[in-house]
Amino acid sequence: MSYLLIIGAKSDIAKEVAKEYSLNGFDLYLAARNVHELKEFSNEIKLRSKADVELIELDILDYKNHQNLYNNLKEKPLGIISAVGYLGSQINAQAKFYEAQLIIDTNYTGLVSLFNIIANDFEERKNGFIIGISSAGGDRGRKNNYLYGSSKAAFSAYLSGLRNRLHNSQVQVMTVKPGFVYTNMTRNMSLPPSLSVRPDQVAKDIFNAQQKGKNILYTKPIWRWIMLFIKMIPEWLFKRTNIWREH
């Protein structure tokens, strides 16, 4: 079977992606910090799907070790998906650059470091798929969360360029833009039920879209139209708004 490398594998979405792909014939590399915490989960996957599951210690901010990590995989993966994400605190990030840098580097810089390595390999092999979970919130900045949003916007732009670069090498690059998802990261937010989705549905949407060769996935699909409308609001009006204020 082919391997899928999942980075940020402890996240709620990543775990559901792992279940979905393992049930569809993929072996798994689960990469995360303190990855030993996934031991019980990996055993559940093995029992449920008979997939091979390997745990890999990964700090996305430890750039100097990314190449060694990839070189040491016993078998190069057919695909990679990043579920790495750090919401952080907008208020703290405005006052302390350390928090702003942590948001930016976790959601963007660290991923570019690792994705560049993998993209070079996939380009040479002329095979594979790369999936990055970005955010619909990166489509336009808003005052309540613009540091997180801007880091996701940068990641989306990176994936767009990577998709353009790797197209002739038959490498699929898919950008996933979830709206509101019920996860540990959003547990303190009041999410509108009609616009929110569970991690297992996100995982199913990702698998189905990847199998169909999609480029960009909004989940729920309504977010494509919501964000299109929001992007069309003139700046003189948009700057007066207070959209999606978290409570």
pLDDT digits 0-9 by tens, 125-146: 999 999 999 999 899 999 999 9
Mean pLDDT value of segment 224-247:
84
Mean pLDDT value of segment 79-95:
95
pLDDT digits 0-9 by tens, 11-22: 999 999 999 999
Domains defined along the chain, listed by start: 3-238 (3.40.50.720)
What is residue 243's predicted lDDT score, i.e. its pLDDT?
A: 72
* CA-based nearest residue to 175, from 156, 148, 191: 156
What is residue 247's predicted lDDT score, i.e. its pLDDT?
A: 30
Mean pLDDT value of segment 20-45:
97
d(CA 179, CA 11): 16
pLDDT at position 29 over 80? yes
Mean pLDDT value of segment 158-177:
98
What is residue 245's predicted lDDT score, i.e. its pLDDT?
A: 47
Q: Which two tokens stand for residue 170?
A: 């038959």
Angle at 26 between CA 127 and CA 157, to 5 degrees: 50
